[in-house]
Amino acid sequence: MIVFLRVDHRLLHGQVAFSWTQYVGADCILIANDSVPNDDLRKTTIKMAKPPAVKLVIKNIADSIEAIKSGVTDKYKLFIVVESVADAYRLAHELPDIKSINLGGTKVREGSQNIAKAINLLADEMAQLRELAAGGVEVEIRLVPNDRKQLFA
């Protein structure tokens, strides 16, 4: 069961690993990203940030979708972390169980607009998020669980 989907360009770090994992009650973290599975250094760094007693799975986007659709993840309270809005958009389109997306950190890029603290979006990302929101997916901005939830508009 998917309990949370977070967009964070840093993927798994202390704030995500401990604050969010505990807050959402996850027992499995899925890093869904097309480059990390082939990058031993990033994989090692991510594994070091994993909280104890929580399963960590690192898969590319297509394999993540396939695993979730197959039901193999149903026994877990699954916390999915992606690096980009594009990845979240792809997952949300393929997986109707995704009802909410948390924007927790997107880095400054050429052409991006700062819409909130640590949230910088390109025009196409804003369009993707608006499309998801119009389709009933809640898109929220919140860096840490104690922050006030701000809905993306």
Q: What is the pLDDT of residues 109-135, one digit of tens each?
A: 999 999 999 999 999 999 999 999 999
Alpha-carbon distance of 58 to 84, in angstroms, equals 15
Query: Sorting pLDDT into bands at 50, 70 and 90, what band is 15?
Result: confident
pLDDT digits (tens, 9 = 90+) for 77-99: 999 999 999 999 999 999 999 99
90, 32 in Cβ contact below 8 A?
no
**If you average pLDDT over residues 15-26, what whole number do you get?**
93
- Determine the topology of domain 2-151 in CATH: Fructose Permease (3.40.35)
61-70 helix and 85-94 helix, angle to the nearest 10 degrees:
30
Sign of CA dihedral 92, 98, 103, 104: negative
Q: Average pLDDT, stretch 1-13?
A: 96
pLDDT of residue 14 exceeding 90: no
The pLDDT assigned to 59 comes to 99
Q: What is the pTM of this model?
A: 0.96
Q: For residue range 23-35, list pLDDT tens digits in order.
A: 999 999 999 999 9
pLDDT at 23: 96
Residue 16 clears pLDDT 90, i.e. is over it: no
